[in-house]
Amino acid sequence: MQNCFKTFSAASVAAALLAAPVALLADDHSPLKDASFERGLSAEDGGWGLFENSLFSSSQARTGSHSMYNGGLSKTVAYPPYFVGTVAGSFQEFPAEAGSRWRLTGYGMTVAKLLGTPAFGVVQISFFDADGNDLGTVETVDNMARAKTSNEINNQSPVGEWVFLDTGIATAPEGTAAVQAFTIYVDFSGSNTAQGVYFDDLALCAVTGEDDEGSDLCDAE
């Protein structure tokens, strides 16, 4: 789903997110701030940039009392090869270098079966160069056919159960200057209904060893 979300992330909040640069961290730390969404930390405070119908929610939580909700009834946009779609999400951005390796994990849940196909929620890593150009995206699923998989929240996911989501390891391509960690809800069915996905307990891990999968923070609990 490359290039779909850069419109929302480049200009308005990137400066705030990069105002306090974060060095590449050891693999036993996660640079994400407010990864469980308990503090409601916005981009202006170095936390989450939100676009479209996204909010810190107190109605559902895997741990603590809050989660991130990305939902429908958002702006309708044309995305080839789909005719129309709605997208909502949250993200944080950090400095990164070409060749660095990253893994993003978390949990997702829906409180009702998602209507329409495809409608889904994922966690996502995206890389950008110094000019803000999208260099590539790694999601919890790796094809636009939307194969049925436990690594996304879709209309086959169990309702009311938190599902572990894992991008696997993503390697920053040549020219990388920044990495972004996303939660994303997309509905390409054209229904634009009031449905969405809750996310909680995210971890972004820098992977340093050849066979390392990152910090234990990125493993399922």
- The closest alpha carbon to 180, from 94, 54, 70, 105, belongs to 94
State pTM to two decimals: 0.79
Name the CATH topology of 6-218.
Jelly Rolls (2.60.120)
Q: What are the residue ranges spanned by the domains of the chain?
A: 6-218
pLDDT in tens, the chain (221 residues): 333 344 333 333 333 333 333 333 333 467 899 999 999 999 988 899 998 889 999 999 999 999 999 987 656 665 454 446 778 899 999 999 999 999 999 999 999 988 876 788 999 899 999 999 888 876 544 433 333 344 689 888 999 999 999 988 889 999 999 999 999 888 876 665 678 999 999 999 988 876 565 556 677 66
CB crowding 98-137: b at 16 or more within 10 Å, else e: eebbbbbbbbbbbeeebebebbbbbbbbbbbeeeeebbeb
